[in-house]
Amino acid sequence: MFPGADEYGVEVHIDDAAVDRLLAVGPDDVDEQRSSAHRTQSGDVDAPSSLSFSRNVFLPLTTACRYTCTYCTYYDVPGEATLMSLDEVRDVVQMGADAGCTEALFTFGDAPDERYTEIHRQLDEWGYDDILEYLVAACEVALDEGLLPHSNPGDLTREQFESLAPVNASMGVMLETTADVAAHAGNRRKTPGQRLNTIRAAGEEGVPFTTGILVGIGETWRDRAESLLAIRALHERYGHIQEVIVQNVVPNDRSDYERPSIETMRRVVSMARVALPEEISVQVPPNLSEAARLVDCGVDDLGGVSPVTDDYVNPEYAWPALQELADIAEESGVPLRERLPVYARYLPDEFRPSGIEAAPAPRNRETWIREPIADRLRGGDVHSERLRHVAHGDGPLSTPET
Ligand code: SF4
């Protein structure tokens, strides 16, 4: 049982033999001298047939977080933490919609605890009981201006998902690891059980979901294998995991974690590709990883890129321009396709491109997409038209099927 799992009643059992099989997975030595177009297979994994990405704006709704993970530069301490006003949210999403984005990526730490008195006072002054109620209002602004929200508000209960799901196309939280690592040490710490509980709650509520592992925070190879298999186990139960991010830690102002080597990343990505069913995308963030050297290990998604906002989670590492994504795809010999923040298989029939099979409906309703999101997709304005184009695979940077 994983640390903290008992407390949340999360039962995810991992077979030792499956871990051992995964530990044997890895890329063969790839002859870097060969033309990348001919590097179609690497050890135990196949290269993808295309690379996808979404065009987003990044909205750090608040930098307050109840935790203090040692590798994190995102959170600000009480007194310094910020809270975006809805006017600021509107300005950013309008800019994004004008620049052709489809996704409003709302990120903040876990709900601010009682130490953040100013954040709570401000929310109260604006008429909100808590940060999640405020997030709903911010998502409504994004929908109003023509973007589909994807929120990462930290750990949530099923009831909290229920209130956020109608205004989000998809949501996410990083599992990071199933291990108890010193990086999460301190009085206030998140636990693997808590994260697994959140991923389970998303599945129970039928929310298309993004999660991932963080590589290099003190976990072992066995921990990496177990983390990937735990994600798989929850997906097999609910069918809701759309992508798994394999993210390497990077040194920053607050810590000096060593960046994992490219050899380590190639092996972890290969393990992720083998561990996860084909329908789950494997993503690496190209501003933190040498993505072009990981594609042949099974990476098929490059995440969200923003033409108008910084990456506030890792501000020292600027997002590559869209052209750089095109260069990674070209170097890897595969086409680049733009996608929505919700993967195509979760879309209702009317928006799903032909050839993409629908994900079986979630257990508690007929469709994965709630009405406010479906209404935005079928609207009559230029924004809905753009969203439909991207949904159907003919967005601005997409290339025709070959
Ligand atoms: S990694 Fe997430 S949970 Fe940890 S301190 Fe940063 S924002 Fe908070």
- For residue 176, which atom of ligand 1 is closest to its CA? 1
Residue 257 near residue 283 (C-beta atoms within 8 A): no
Residues with CB under 6 A from ligand 1: 65, 67-69, 72, 74-75, 109-110, 190
pLDDT per residue as tens digits for the range 361-397: 998 899 999 999 999 999 999 999 999 999 998 766 6
Q: Is 217 within the bounds of a domain?
A: yes
Q: Is 28 within the bounds of a domain?
A: no
Mean pLDDT of 281-303: 94
Distance CA 109, CA 189 (A): 12
Residue 336 near residue 397 (C-beta atoms within 8 A): yes
Mean pLDDT of 18-31: 79
What does the pLDDT read at residue 32? Answer: 41
Distance CA 146, CA 169 (A): 12
Residue 241 near residue 209 (C-beta atoms within 8 A): yes
Of 270, 268, 306, the C-alpha closest to 47 is 270
Q: Does residue 19 have a pLDDT over 70? A: yes
Residue of higher predicted confidence among 183 and 159: 159
Q: Does residue 187 have a pLDDT over 90? A: no
- Taking the centre of ligand 1 as the mean of its atom positions, its distance from the CA of residue 13, in whole angstroms, is 26
Q: For the chain, first and last CA: distance in Å?
A: 46
- Taking the centre of ligand 1 as the mean of its atom positions, its distance from the CA of residue 313, in whole angstroms, is 9
Distance CA 308, CA 194 (A): 33
- Taking the centre of ligand 1 as the mean of its atom positions, its distance from the CA of residue 54, in whole angstroms, is 23
Q: Does residue 246 have a pLDDT over 70? A: yes
Mean pLDDT of 322-351: 94
What does the pLDDT read at residue 253? Answer: 83
Residue 146 near residue 386 (C-beta atoms within 8 A): yes
203 Rama sector, left if φ>0, alpha if ψ -120 to 50, beta otherwise: alpha
Mutation choice for ligand 1 from 66, 82, 175, 190, CB with most ligand atoms inside 8 A: 190
- From residue 157, alpha-carbon distances to 160, 162, 194 in Å are 5, 9, 10
Q: Is 116 within the bounds of a domain?
A: no
Mutation choice for ligand 1 from 58, 71, 74, CB with most ligand atoms inside 8 A: 74
Q: At 313, is the pLDDT very low, low, confident or very high (cuts 50, 70, 90)?
A: low
Output the six-digit token pair for 136: 């709903």
Q: Is 100 within the bounds of a domain?
A: no
Side-chain-side CA neighbours of residue 361 (13 Å) = 8
- For residue 190, which atom of ligand 1 is closest to its CA? 3
Residue with CA nearest ligand 1 atom 7: 109
Residue with CA nearest ligand 1 atom 2: 109
- For residue 73, which atom of ligand 1 is closest to its CA? 6
Q: Does residue 239 have a pLDDT over 70? A: yes
Distance CA 273, CA 182 (A): 27
Q: Lowest-confidence range among 36-40, 124-128, 265-269, 368-372?
A: 36-40
Q: 221-238 vs 262-275: helix axis angle to the nearest 10?
A: 30
Output the six-digit token pair for 272: 């992720």
Q: Residue 186: is it exposed, middle or buried by C-beta count within 10 angstroms (0-12/13-18/19+)?
A: exposed
- For residue 66, which atom of ligand 1 is closest to its CA? 8
- Taking the centre of ligand 1 as the mean of its atom positions, its distance from the CA of residue 46, in whole angstroms, is 34
Distance CA 280, CA 170 (A): 14
Say whether 69 counts as a known binding-site residue: yes
pLDDT per residue as tens digits for the range 102-128: 999 999 889 888 899 999 999 999 999
- Taking the centre of ligand 1 as the mean of its atom positions, its distance from the CA of residue 171, in whole angstroms, is 16
Q: Does residue 401 have a pLDDT over 60? A: no
Residue with CA nearest ligand 1 atom 4: 69
Q: Which stretches of 27-79 are DSSP H helices?
A: none
Give me the domain span that covers residue 212: 5-23+38-55+170-391
Q: Does residue 29 have a pLDDT over 80? A: no
pLDDT per residue as tens digits for the range 143-178: 999 999 999 999 999 999 999 999 999 999 999 999
- Taking the centre of ligand 1 as the mean of its atom positions, its distance from the CA of residue 337, in whole angstroms, is 31
Q: What is the pTM of this model?
A: 0.93
Q: Is 74 within the bounds of a domain?
A: no
Residue 11 near residue 5 (C-beta atoms within 8 A): yes
Collapsing DSSP states into helix, strand and coil, what is residue 399? coil
Q: Does residue 35 have a pLDDT over 50? A: no
Q: Does residue 88 have a pLDDT over 90? A: yes
Neighbours of 3 (CB within 10 A): 16
Residue 112 near residue 62 (C-beta atoms within 8 A): yes
- Taking the centre of ligand 1 as the mean of its atom positions, its distance from the CA of residue 67, in whole angstroms, is 6
What does the pLDDT read at residue 314? Answer: 67
Residue of higher predicted confidence among 256 and 356: 356
Q: Does residue 39 have a pLDDT over 50? A: no
pLDDT per residue as tens digits for the range 59-86: 999 999 999 998 899 999 999 999 999 9
Strand partners, 281: 243
Of 387, 397, 392, 308, the C-alpha closest to 148 is 387
- For residue 68, which atom of ligand 1 is closest to its CA? 5
Q: Does residue 318 have a pLDDT over 80? A: no
Strand partners, 42: 45
Q: Is 90 within the bounds of a domain?
A: no
* Average model confidence (pLDDT) across the chain: 90
Mean pLDDT of 278-287: 95
What does the pLDDT read at residue 42? Answer: 54
- For residue 174, which atom of ligand 1 is closest to its CA? 2
CATH number, domain containing residue 248: 3.20.20
User: How many structural domains comprise the chain?
Assistant: 1
Mutation choice for ligand 1 from 70, 71, 75, CB with most ligand atoms inside 8 A: 75
Say whether 139 counts as a known binding-site residue: no
Q: Is 280 within the bounds of a domain?
A: yes
pLDDT per residue as tens digits for the range 320-333: 678 889 999 999 99
Say whether 65 counts as a known binding-site residue: yes
What does the pLDDT read at residue 316? Answer: 65
Q: Is 83 within the bounds of a domain?
A: no
How does 322-360 read in b/e, with b if 16+ C-beta sit within 10 Å?
Answer: bebbbebbeebebbbbbbbbbbbbbbbeebbeeeeeebe
- Taking the centre of ligand 1 as the mean of its atom positions, its distance from the CA of residue 300, in whole angstroms, is 26
- Strands 170-172 and 148-152, by their bridges, are parallel
